Amino acid sequence: MIIIGGSSSENLANKVANHLGVTQGKVDIKRFPDGEKYLRVISDVKDQNVVVIQSMHHTPDEFLFEYMLLVDALKDLGASRVTSFIPYFAYARQDERFKPGEALSFKTVSKLIESVGTDEIFTIDMHQHRVLRSSQVFRIPSHNLSAMPLLANYVSNEARLKNPLVIGPDIEAEQWAKLAAETLGTDYDVFDKKRFAADKVEIRPRKANAKGRDILIVDDIISTGGTIVEASKILFSQGANAIEVACTHPILASDALNRIKAAGVANVIGTDTVPGPISYVSVAPLIAEQVKKKINS
């Protein structure tokens, strides 16, 4: 078995390979002067089981195209099987035609990924609001893992929350709020959220009361930070003591982190599905565990 990381996830692939004690495959990726990508697989992959790790953060088109060059080349060079981990799966939010004529980006990206010969795909906390199972878009075996237990354990060890309450800022976040609340041994609630534009949301509370409690808000993605800022306003207005935030994919578009800090949030914790300033938790053990299962199956 060989682990290969595309240029978006090289460090993560290195951590996974170290965890498992297996070889990290070598690839040379650069740009031609005209902007085209060049990719060369250096390791011998003939008859090998290859695990590809490539997240699609920040420059998703570039990383998606690189992924396609890589997997197509691996198959062409005789790799017996390609199992892909796409920790942050871009375009999943455009899973519906919200306005007439819009591209169904989620479906298009899934088709592209299949078209190069990917045998099996793993994603992590993929955005699934309307499409609830990845098998609704993929015809190849697909699995969506969750980083929330890793995040909740980290917060539980680091933050020492007193009388904690876990909040999911919208209905979809219930799955993560439940997992985090189980880890912290406490209760959870979710808010109702309406999105008016990519950077404009309205949030309303439900039953839970944050008065006097330490809060952990959990979500899959922080993009503009609008969701966390609005949720924090409500929680502080109810009398929350302190707010910690944990998310799987810290995209942090423009000044999201400053906006969240300005709203009074104590700490924002993310994973390395999107490597950046708050990627305190690595998803390497989660990926390694799945690869180990594959090796032993």
- Which one is catalytic: 15, 37, 178, 193? 193
- At residue 51, φ and ψ (nearest 5 deg) are -110, 120
Structure tokens belonging to residue 155: 């917060």
Binding residue for ligand R5P, selected from 125, 172, 214, 244, defined by CB under 6 A: 172
Q: Provide the minimum distance between the beta carbon of 211 and ligand R5P in the complex, in angstroms, as a whole number.
A: 24
Residue among 51 and 151 whose Cβ is closer to ligand R5P:
151
Q: Provide the minimum distance between the beta carbon of 271 and ligand R5P in the complex, in angstroms, as a whole number.
A: 15
Residue among 15 and 127 whose Cβ is closer to ligand R5P:
127
Q: Which of 261, 248, 275, 271 is nearest to 58 (CA)?
A: 275
Residue among 116 and 221 whose Cβ is closer to ligand R5P:
221
Residue among 130 and 162 whose Cβ is closer to ligand R5P:
130
Query: Could you tell me how many residues of this chain bind ligand R5P (CB under 6 A)?
Result: 13
Half-sphere exposure of 249 (CA within 13 A, CB side): 23
Query: Hey, which residues does 294 pair with through a beta bridge?
Result: none
Residue among 76 and 202 whose Cβ is closer to ligand R5P:
202
The greatest distance separating any two alpha carbons of the chain, rounded to the nearest whole angstrom, comes to 61
User: How many helices (DSSP H) and strands (DSSP E) are in the chain?
Assistant: 8, 16
Identify residues 178-237 at the interface with ligand R5P (CB under 6 A): 201, 219-227
Structure tokens belonging to residue 110: 């899934």
Query: Hey, which residues does 20 pair with through a beta bridge?
Result: none
d(CA 91, CA 175): 21
Site string for ligand R5P, 128-167 (x = CB under 6 A): ----------------------------------------
Q: Provide the minimum distance between the beta carbon of 164 and ligand R5P in the complex, in angstroms, as a whole number.
A: 20
State the residue for tokens 């980290």: 154
The answer to whether 50 and 81 have CB atoms below 8 angstroms apart is yes
d(CA 52, CA 42): 14
Amino acid at 156: S
Q: Provide the minimum distance between the beta carbon of 229 and ligand R5P in the complex, in angstroms, as a whole number.
A: 8
Q: Provide the minimum distance between the beta carbon of 274 and ligand R5P in the complex, in angstroms, as a whole number.
A: 12
Identify residues 63-102 at the interface with ligand R5P (CB under 6 A): none
Site string for ligand R5P, 34-63 (x = CB under 6 A): ------------------------------
Residue among 170 and 272 whose Cβ is closer to ligand R5P:
170
Q: Provide the minimum distance between the beta carbon of 117 and ligand R5P in the complex, in angstroms, as a whole number.
A: 31
Q: Is 178 a catalytic residue?
A: no
- Alpha helical stretches, state H, 185-278: 226-237, 256-262
Q: Which DSSP string corresponds to 69-118?
A: HHHHHHHHTT-SEEEEEESS-TTTT--S-SSTT---HHHHHHHHHHHTT-
Active site residues: 193
The site for ligand R5P (CB under 6 A) is made up of: 169-170, 172, 201, 219-227
